[in-house]
Amino acid sequence: MKTVLGIDVGTQSSKVLFYDYESKKVAAVASAPHELITGSDGTSEQEARWWIEAIRAALVEIPEEVRRTAIAAGVSGQQHGFVPVGEDGMVLHRVKLWNDTSTAAECGELTDAFGGEKKLIKEAGNPVLPGYTASKILWFKKNYPEEFSRMEWVMLPHDYINYFLTGEVTMEYGDASGTGLLNIRERTWNVALAAAIDPDLPNKLPPLYSPEHGAGKVTAEAATYFGIPEGIPVSCGGGDNMMASIGTGAVVPGVLSMSLGTSGTLFGYSDKPVIDEDGIIAAFCSSSGGWMPLLCTMNCTVATEQARELFDTDIKELERLVAEVPPGADGVTVLPYFSGERIPNMPHAKASIMGLNMNNLTRGNILAASMESAIYGMKIGLESLTRLGMTAAKIVLTGGGSRNPIWRQMAADITGLPVVILSNHDSAALGAAVQALWQVEQANGAALETLVDEHILSAGSETINPENVEAYKEPYNRYTEYLGNLKNLYV
């Protein structure tokens, strides 16, 4: 047996997946959890060493005879996290994560220093938003000037894992575009914006490489620590969304990938840059050689989990209650901004339950409205992608929410597109493994699209219910109307 190893460093855990590409099945998978440091000011942080320890703990669960079969490895990592690394390779501070909103003030400072949001979008392709890496770097400089002066490299979570594996400092276009510091059109660093943070910062940004380049080979030290073969190639890897695009088949036009996890994402592939002057769609590069316009909301399954916890309701009971609720939850609408929000840009927003009256205050309605809110947020992104010229024939659904048949049907009916689910739900880890396979097979002339067609397998689909599509129109309009009115409270 020969396998490729996919490593996925998420917010809640790190996962390792060994994919037997000859038999087209997962040979083994394991994960280990992370801690999370949070604060009332929007802080969300982790220690980088926790990822390394979690990867090792997960690998220990895999039989040694399976680990020995790996011929290549690829890494997926949560996007946007800021890992400041010193000359000795040591991490200088806790990692501020993608869902950290404590640097909203620094976003404003950077935007003003560069000449405004319109200029940012025109010249770089993206505004500087809370969550992106750029404002975290400025925050670090302001609050920890001594440590900042010792910083040698700016890394992202997956870059740091690549560095630990190979000893090489690299960054690829896809994850780099989530820093806010990349010129998306040219796929080069925006030196002027980086210099607005610090004149020497451009020298601390890693060299950029295309996906074909790879990140290096596993060192003897990393091989011993992790118990994997020494010298196997490590592909460039990428952000979790970029790897999920490979793991869901969204590497050609016409396929949209929707992830229902802690955050919600909707994205697709484009052969050219897709720039949204309204700033709703992030103008990211893909990790497959093209571009990947993306919507990201910071609150997705979290709303349903909060409601389930409030009502002490398990999944089976939730499904029973929600199945009895009509589309639109009898007029109940949830605005799920428990962690602020990135799109729309409201880092200080709070969650709300709207439309309650004497007749509709039930567990089922609130649970159903919590689930619907996640898809309403995705529909905002779908409308923006359509406005920007993107077309889609189907949505491939992943993330924890994709396991719920009610949520899958909601996704189809609210968006009006058929929803496909995959035989493997670990799309980011599998995407990283398939990219690693591509790293090896490039020598034989293999194209990534061909490997994706061969190894990303469907497990079924949900077709749209025309009656429900019509029934969801008014509730969705109600959601956007509430959103428009409440935005002024959180500016």
Which residues partner with 264 through β-bridges?
260, 297
Q: Is 79 annotated as a binding residue?
A: yes
Distance CA 425, CA 427 (A): 5
The torsion of the CA quartet 272, 273, 278, 280, rounded to 10 degrees, works out to: 90
179 close to 156: Cβ distance less than 8 angstroms: yes
Q: What share of the chain is helix, strand, coil (3-state, %, to 5)?
A: 40, 25, 35
Distance CA 334, CA 379 (A): 15
382 close to 401: Cβ distance less than 8 angstroms: no
CA distances from 1 to 20, 157, 444 (A): 7, 30, 20
Distance CA 164, CA 83 (A): 13
Distance CA 167, CA 422 (A): 35
Which are the catalytic amino acids? 240
Q: Closest Cα partner for 264 from 172, 207, 342, 148?
A: 342
For residue 208, the tally of other CB atoms under 10 A from its CB is: 16
Burial class (CB in 10 A: 0-12, 13-18, 19+), 312: exposed
158 close to 175: Cβ distance less than 8 angstroms: yes
Q: List CB contacts of 58: < 8 A, sequence separation 6 or more.
A: 14, 15, 16, 30, 31, 32
Q: Closest Cα partner for 327 from 478, 468, 474, 479?
A: 468
Q: List CB contacts of 300: < 8 A, sequence separation 6 or more.
A: 259, 260, 261, 262, 263, 264, 336, 374, 377, 399, 401
Polymer length of the chain: 491
Which amino acid appears at position 478 of this protein? R
Query: Which tokens go with 51?
Result: 């990822």
Residue 130 C-alpha from the chain's centroid:
14
372 close to 355: Cβ distance less than 8 angstroms: no
Residue 126 C-alpha from the chain's centroid:
16
Binding positions for substrate are: 79-80
